[in-house]
Amino acid sequence: MPTDITPQKAQDILHAYISKNGLKVSRQREVIAEVFLQAGGHLKIDELLERARKLDERISQATVYRTMKLLAECGLAESRTFHDGFTRYELADGHEEHHDHLICTSCGIIVEFMDDAIEARQEAVAKKNGFDLRHHRMELYGHCRKCRE
């Protein structure tokens, strides 16, 4: 079940992490966090940078990288790398329901899905092979309905 995290709660988590670790709140961090939280996932660094710059002209790419790392550290963001080689960030599991991805290799659209049967079998497969399963990555690639028309 999605924790239904609000941008406000997320900012609280970020601020808590910041003060707990003796870091500082900055305009850049707030803007980048805001942009990320509102976007709803799967954004590449340059997409985040572009959106952040609409709110604040003087945000650098390096700061986006650094801030997304920070958001990942405090548990709000999670990085993913699909076949195109770009790192993307999305809301972290735990704050959002766990899911995997369907990706259209033609238009690039990314659809999230979750299948309990698959999750259960993954656990079973891991156990059968003597593994203690920690996390997984599953991406299905194909052509979406629109692109087949």
Partner DNA sequence: TTTGATGCAAAGGATTTGCATGAAT
Partner DNA sequence: ATTCATGCAAATCCTTTGCATCAAA
CB 10 within 8 A of CB 76: yes
Residue type at 33 in one-letter notation: A
Interacting residue ranges for DNA, rule: CB under 7 A: 18, 22-29, 44-45, 58-63, 65-67, 69, 81, 85-87
In whole angstroms, give the CA distance from residue 25 to residue 57. Answer: 18
Complex with a copy of itself: residue 25 or 120, whichever CB lies closer: 120
Complex with DNA: residue 67 or 95, whichever CB lies closer: 67
Pull the structure tokens for residue 1. 């079940």
Task: Kindly write out the interface string for residues 35-64 of this chain, putting x where it contacts a copy of itself by CB under 8 A and - elsewhere.
Answer: ------------------------------
Complex with a copy of itself: residue 44 or 54, whichever CB lies closer: 44
In whole angstroms, give the CA distance from residue 148 to residue 99. Answer: 25
Q: Are strands 100-104 and 43-44 parallel, antiparallel or unpaired?
A: unpaired
User: Is residue 72 part of the contact set for a copy of itself (CB under 8 A)?
Assistant: no
In whole angstroms, give the CA distance from residue 86 to residue 149. Answer: 28
From the list DNA, a copy of itself, none, pick the one residue 62 interacts with, judged by a Cβ distance below 5 to 8 Å according to partner type. Answer: DNA
